[in-house]
A and B are shown apart, each in its own frame.
Chain A
Amino acid sequence: MRDFAELLDRLVFTPRRSIKLRLIGDYFARVPDPDRGWALAALTGGLTFPGAKPAMIRALIEERCDPVLFRWSYDYVGDLAETAALLWPERRGANREPGLAEVVETLQEAGRTEVPTLLAGWLDALDPTGRWALLKLITGGLRVGVSERLAKTALASFGGQDAGAIEELWHGLRPPYDDLFAWLEGRAPQPEVAEAALFRPLMLAHPLEEAEVDALPLGEFLAEWKWDGIRAQLVAHKGECRLFSRTGEDIGPAFPDLLQNIGFDAVLDGELLVAREGAPAPFNELQTRLGRKAPTAKLQRSHPAHLRLYDLLIDAGEDLRHLTFSERRARLEAWYARHRPALMDLSELVVVENHAELKRLRREARTSGVEGLMLKRAASPYLAGRPKGHWYKFKRDALTVDAVLMYAQRGHGRRSSLFSDYTFGAWTEEGTLVPIGKAYSGFTDSELKRLDKWVRDHTVDRFGPVRAVEPGLVLEVAFDAVQPSSRHKSGIALRFPRIARIRWDKPAGEADPLERLRAMIA
């Protein structure tokens, strides 16, 4: 645990990518299996411990600490895991300090009720940095400024391999990755994973701003609609069928209707939708399906799954990813004509003559029920990740609402000392505020400081890290759509809300009524 804790501690304070790569590489070189493999899993976001929740950590520390001192300390530190790690009463030498593998493997076996006792025993044995790392590890989201991609790049340079080669294998391997490290250290051949129904990393698009459009040589691109569902990959191999989300999560069990009676061997890229007779339903209907791990037959009938195809990556064992997009498109169309699979159709190409027409199509996207347009360079191969200059997404404009700030909460990481997560509300007919959403601000530091001061000066109540404020500040909130929601008191939920700007000038009484948002439900 000590090496892992020291690694996380260094990463938190290291701004530079090249230095982070060195620190991770040094760790892989120094630390034996299986600890380093579990560390890799943690850094790539591959570990979850459903039995460990922040509330449990809070309960553990509150049993051991004066409540007044806990509150003052939490106020000062601003992060629960760190506060608990620092406050934990020292009992070093009480137990043996646990290793990373021991912690992970024990927790994976443990029942929910055993977790608090296990955790307390380990916390007793660790030093403050070790305790902090342990709590970060089990509550998920290490927040040490390392992306999955960066961790894999560090791994690749540690083993003298190409990052693409690791990416290709990745979804066929399981932590703690002993076979992967053995190969990277030249002690064993490359792990054999090619024969399974594996996720292949997706190719992603860069956002395109209105102002950048005119510079784009449209003749070199093919356009498609950007459908309002989620990107998905369907893999069918030797009778095994799987459906993956954009990040490689297996979402197949939620969509048995789509995966039944598959009679082909292929890897397909498409948009997962709920659709009736080929007509896509609003996004929230898909959300209903995504929320059910095992959907009833009734739900499958009322909300039928649909895959709208964008691309063909592998056809009967033949890898097409090195072909150009035009060539793959031709193969996809031929493939579709041959198989005509149920609950699937082709995403049509959109003919765009010039830039003006492109902008018009985008403006009309909201009424056409699409999220915008995709522009794909005809000559591009299928490349994993978000390579520059190949694919662009040209999304419809956001909607906005003027909402009133209701609660503020401290942010995470760099901003943990500032109030940077905001809950905002709209006026009901009775003249009260109901919360309609929560967003993290994208402000500059100086704006954030001013807002933070406003929050401190207008606090009317506190609940742990949350402050309730007077209804006196209007936030312009941008969002993509309004959906009905039974979980929220307001009856609505905003999709992709973000705070566009602070309306210091606008009186709270003039913010928007809830009615206006209800009328915007898609």
Chain B
Amino acid sequence: MSREAHPENWLQVTPRGLYCRPGDFFIDPHRPVERAVVTHGHADHARPGNAAVIATPQTLAIMQARYGERAGAVLHPLAYHQRLSLGPVTVRLVPAGHVLGSAQVVIEWGGWRVVVSGDYKRQPDPTCAAFEVVPCDVFVTEATFALPVFRHPPADEEVRRLLHSVDLFPERTHLVGAYSLGKAQRLLALLRHAGWDRPVYLHGALEPLCQLYEEQGVDLGPLRSATRAEADLAGDIVVAPPSALADRWLRRFADPLTAMASGWMRVRQRARQRGAELPLVISDHADWDELTQTLREVGAPEVWVTHGSEEALIHWARGEGMRARALSLIGRGEEEQDALP
């Protein structure tokens, strides 16, 4: 493990994204490249127009559903834990627990192991494989909720609050804002787990990805189109993308009560700016405790921090004796754009 082979010399931020020189590939590039390894299907990580795309089969399916032909000229499915040699570099994908198909990229070269975790969480999620800890030399972490005020409560507790509200206001339609990839399906699965077996109504924008999840073997229970519903759906639950909550679209429902499922809901002032009457703290990103727990568990002496509150996590990691620095990647965090303050 020579010093010259230190990852900062071969894994670097370039204008097109994070580039691994000896393996000649980019990870989650934000502009089209020859060869991309994609961690997961969110639009700020998976972009169209690459020549070759390496990703889990689920992520490739999501990219095809979103981009069709433009998903990539050559799609190379790489199942979790399978090794792939790209030049002298070995690459494998390990579950990240973020959304269906999401993966950490484990890169090995010159005796060094780097893990690029993409987006991840540690809370249980019935709709995707759980995060796995891979000990490494350099850990690249997200920092979306990297302030110690972000403490995501157990998601089933938040769903219980939603169902209590439906009980209390049976004459109103409960309209839940949730991102179309991952959050919406997790919410549906959580509702089923909490015993809600009535049909859940979906905004049209959510239908294709829910169908894809079902095809991938994730059971979401009975779903109906909210747009085509005959009645005003009093006492029912409707799930829609956050942008639809402020839309004329919701006037069709019975005195709609808007709920919003997002980690940003943790801070009341931010939640109030979103105008949600029932904020639900449900996040697909690691909270502060999960981030710090993960940094400790992977045991990497060096941590690179991307998108979010980098400074707070770097401050913490340095206090723990880790080398830590910010890795400025352009165009990250936009999947959560809807919920930004």
Contacts and interface: CB of A to CB of B under 8 A. Distances in A.
Contact of A87 (B149, B165, B268, B277): B149
Given A13-B278, A13-B279, A82-B267, A69 B272 contact: no
B271 A69 contact: no
Interface string A12-40: 11110001001100100000000000000
Interface string B266-282: 11111111001111000
A90 interface: yes
A6 B150 CA distance: 18
A361 to B, nearest CB: 45
A87 B148 CA distance: 6
Contacts of B270: 417
B149 A13 contact: no
A146 to B, nearest CB: 15
Contacts of A68: 315
B289 interface: yes
A6 to B, nearest CB: 7
A6 B165 CA distance: 11
* Interface size grouping (class) on chain B: 20 to 34
Given A12-B272, A13-B277, A13-B278, A26 B168 contact: yes
B153 to A, nearest CB: 6
Given A13-B271, A13-B278, A69-B316, A128 B147 contact: no
Interface string A365-409: 000000000000000000000000000000000000000000000
A79 B311 contact: no
Contacts of B229: none
Given A65-B148, A90-B289, A128-B151, A77 B278 contact: no
A26 B169 CA distance: 11
A480 to B, nearest CB: 32
B277 A15 contact: yes
A10 interface: yes
B168 A417 contact: no
B312 A417 contact: no
B151 A72 contact: no
Nearest to A86: B149
A490 interface: no
Interface in B111-156: 147-151, 153
Q: Quick one: which of A10, A26, A416 has the most chain B CB within 10 A? A: A10
Contact of A66 (B161, B309, B316): B316
A78 interface: yes
Interface in A58-81: 65-66, 68-69, 72-73, 76-79
Interface residues of A, number: 32
Contacts of A26: 168
B269 A77 contact: yes
A127 interface: yes
Nearest to A412: B269
B319 interface: yes
A414 interface: yes
A423 interface: no
A130 to B, nearest CB: 11
B266 A86 contact: yes
Task: Report whether over half of chain A's contact residues are helix, strand or loop; otherwise say mixed.
Answer: helix
Contacts of A10: 165, 278
Nearest to B153: A127
A72 B267 contact: no
A15 B147 CA distance: 29
B315 to A, nearest CB: 6
Given A6-B161, A69-B315, A76-B267, A13 B148 contact: no
A246 B276 CA distance: 37
Contact of A76 (B149, B165, B169): B149
Contact of A72 (B147, B161, B269, B289): B147
A418 to B, nearest CB: 10
A13 B272 contact: yes
Interface in B241-284: 266-273, 276-279
A22 to B, nearest CB: 7
A77 B149 contact: yes
Contact of A86 (B148, B161, B279, B312): B148
B272 A86 contact: no
Interface in A405-461: 414, 416-417
B267 A86 contact: yes
A79 B153 contact: no
A83 interface: yes
Interface in A75-119: 76-79, 82-83, 86-87, 90
B149 A83 contact: yes
A86 B269 contact: no
Contacts of A127: 153
B16 to A, nearest CB: 32
Given A15-B277, A66-B319, A72-B311, A77 B161 contact: no
Contacts of A69: 147-148, 312, 315-316
Contacts of A79: 268-269
Interface in A213-255: none
Q: Quick one: which of B149, B289, B319 has the most chain A CB within 10 A? A: B149
A90 B149 contact: no
Contact of A416 (B153, B269, B316, B319): B269
Interface in B299-341: 309, 311-312, 315-316, 319, 341
Contact of A73 (B149, B269, B273): B149
Given A14-B277, A22-B169, A72-B312, A128 B269 contact: no
A77 B276 contact: no
A134 to B, nearest CB: 15
B267 A77 contact: yes
Contacts of B311: 72
A86 B289 CA distance: 12
A291 to B, nearest CB: 35
Contacts of B289: 90
Contacts of B277: 13-15, 19
Q: Quick one: which of B147, B271, B289 has the most chain A CB within 10 A? A: B147
A386 B299 CA distance: 66
A90 B288 CA distance: 12
Nearest to B277: A13
A15 B275 CA distance: 9
Given A6-B161, A65-B148, A79-B269, A128 B153 contact: yes
Nearest to A79: B269
A68 B147 CA distance: 11
A417 B269 contact: yes
B147 A12 contact: no
Nearest to B152: A128
A129 B150 CA distance: 12
17 contacts: A10-B165, A12-B268, A12-B272, A13-B278, A19-B277, A23-B168, A68-B315, A69-B147, A69-B315, A69-B316, A72-B147, A72-B311, A76-B149, A86-B148, A86-B149, A86-B151, A128-B153
Interface of A: 6, 10, 12-15, 19, 22-23, 26, 65-66, 68-69, 72-73, 76-79, 82-83, 86-87, 90, 127-129, 132, 414, 416-417
Interface of B: 147-151, 153, 161, 165, 168-169, 266-273, 276-279, 289, 309, 311-312, 315-316, 319, 341
Given A23-B168, A68-B315, 10 more contacts: A19-B169, A26-B168, A69-B316, A72-B309, A72-B312, A77-B267, A86-B148, A86-B150, A90-B289, A128-B266
Closest 8 CB pairs of A and B: A86-B149, A73-B149, A416-B269, A417-B269, A87-B148, A69-B148, A13-B277, A73-B147
